[in-house]
Structure 1
Amino acid sequence: MTGLHERHLAVSPEWLALYYRHPIELTHGEGRHVWDADGNRYLDFFGGILTTMTAHALPEVTKAVAEQAGRIIHSSTLYLNRPMVEMAERIATLSGIPDARVFFTTSGTEANDTALLLATAYRGSNQILAMRNSYHGRSFSTVSITGNQAWSPTSLSPLQTLYVHGGVRTRGPYAELSDEAFIRACVADLEDLLGHTRNPAALIAEPIQGVGGFTSPPDGLFAAFREVLDRHGVLWISDEVQTGWGRTGEHFWGWQAHAGNGPPDILTFAKGIGNGMSVGGVVARAEVMNCLDANSISTFGGSPITMAASLANLSYVLEHDLQGNARRVGGLLIERLRSVAAGSPAVREVRGRGLMIGIELVKPGTDEADPDAAAAVLEAARAGGLLIGKGGGHNTSVLRIAPPLTLTVAEAEEGAAILADALHAAG
């Protein structure tokens, strides 16, 4: 155990998890690579939990941060803030939400918490519909709408949460149905649920479930849900904390795979837009955003320095077509991983889109999740020079792969080769 690890354990909560039997300290990064305190170099396929979205030490972002830090770092929302207004203008346009208003926070948890505040105030209800296997943050309100027991430490809640089918395509009571029948069954479940509730405020859903193991429903499910929700006046909150900014390759936002009835009423974002800076936010049409009848500010949300970083990062994403790169290189990577998985009896499924890929592991010959195998592959990948994540609603048995969106074809091939060796080494 390193001295820093011992110091960490002495002052940190027991529930503050660390990866690896011998945790590593990352000291610096460049592009798609990071280095630890012992000088080991790793190909980064997790990006600090999908947060270093573009690249480590991206010159355009580091320059914007340094220049803004030389002017003013902080002012709060009590003063006009040019970078915040400029960023809000760009996000409002990109969101697809008409007459959009944008409120900045410091994290995805805080963004989802704000979305819940808006929805419940607007609808006058504390009932929330959420998806099974979902994750929306670690605050008191967001753990209470998280449908993943491993990340919801209390049953106490300020909200009444009701869970809907549909977030996981290949498990559960509808897994054997065709995509069309799956959607019909989930819609029928939603209709039945609404028939037994009084006045739900909103449905909150991740277009692709992140912590849940990069699971997703068939395209169009949330459009079908939206038809039902609209009849009941229920808002749709799309949690884009992990799926936003082009990561899925096919779309800029995850909701666009379900766009039959247009954009969501509320959209939340965070993680990648700051490329490592603490940025989150909420987009909603003015009628919903302005429904609060009390004063509010954000001390740190939309700070000049985080907005400068986000503006530079967003410009880089758009100017270099990183959504297209996620589609092209991600498509190659997922096919390579499926080829690798075909030779491993421990792999149940390789799924995802763009640069958001999950590999679900099970005990060979069964459908039983194998978290020990996932932990072993995580260790073996690290030993081979690759950092990945893990998650899943079935005992953390899914390898999560989400590299920066500038990933090259050569790096995708290298990472797939390391993962092939790690899967073989882990048994």
Structure 2
Amino acid sequence: MEIVLGVGGGIAAYKSALLLRLMTEAGHGVTVVPTPSALKFVGAPTWEALSGRPVRTDTFEAVDVVNHVRVGRSADLVVVAPATADLLARTAAGLAPDLLGNVLLTATCPVVLAPAMHTEMWHHPATRANTALLRERGVTVVEPASGRLTGRDSGPGRLPEPEDIWAAAQAAAIAAPARDREAAVTAPSASAASGESVPHGPLAGRTVVITAGGTREPLDPVRYLGNRSSGKQGVALAEAALAAGACVRFIGAAMSVAPPAGADVTRVESTQELLDAVLSQAADTDVLIMAAAVADFRPAQVAEAKIKKTDDGGAPTIVLERTPDVLATAVRTRAAGESMAPVIVGFAAETGDATSSVLDYGRAKLARKGCEMLVVNEVGTDKVFGQDLTEVTVLFADGRAPLHRAGTKAEAAGVVIEAVAAEVAAGP
């Protein structure tokens, strides 16, 4: 894959050197296009040494090969990190004062922008409007992280970690439909010519509900029963679905990562809240993907006050009861003739034992739940939960051959969304 890595003029530019290394180590060819201001933070020799390619910033360099058009046209993916407030504004306005601006105007591939700026800049109405406009045009704008900024400042606006940016970029690239660059340049559609934003991709015009994170069941006002889910896989699925053109409704339980940019987000805590949100949000949609890690049990009684330790060293007896089965309820709702997504995808986070393997338990769950697809993975204290790598097997209710993928969670999400798109296209 040919990637253009754009670098804006912010102190976070040093992190983009690590992002560049992730891209090249994955076997991709990368052309770095910094803004002139970016070179004040990280010099051209650094970018040339890490990419193995010359670095240019000016529109009038390499004019003999029409470089200001060639770079954007030849890219399979454009990633800009950091994207400053000024760069977001210029991109939204279609300005091209330098080579990077021209690349962004001529690229017909997926474009991913990773903002980085002070909190006040990120929250400014102009920046929010520019971000919304870019997302409407199909650009993936990664939500900035919250943390230490320049100097003593801290808050939202921090450049996400290179691994997170790379995961979002891979999701956008994997889910992007095949494209004919020449046709896109020479024969734009009437709606594109009028400036109207038109969703494209295998899930264009479809609405997908994705659940993510781990539910928490209260024991008292302070404590809860939960699980180790980080929400990373659910976010990766949402980003892949968005890149495939879908309208995404994201239901997030407890997560250690930010919700996906561009999705309609609903936050929940308990399994009952998750069930209520699913029945409401998925009633008029095309696909439901249940990636949330649901707590299977909850305390039968919730204490009104914090449970105190006693002087005798004893511990309270906690009685557990089953939580609602969200996946099975969604399938039963549909079977009863009530409105529910025609394609339902379950997730099975399993551990094998002496009697059955992870896939044995997965196949049994698929038959028991009655959904169209089940994504199975083996979990543990050092597997899947909170990790960037995963290994999944997609099982199908119609008995077709399973799909298997080991790699990043973005890569796993791409396989799942491709299978979902094929299921939707096949129809009932």
Larger radius of gyration: 2
Interval containing the TM-score (normalised by the shorter chain): under 0.3
Q: Choose between structure 1 and 2: higher strand proportion.
A: 2
Higher relative contact order (CA 8 A, sep 6+): 1
Alignment TM-score, normalising by the size of structure 2? 0.25
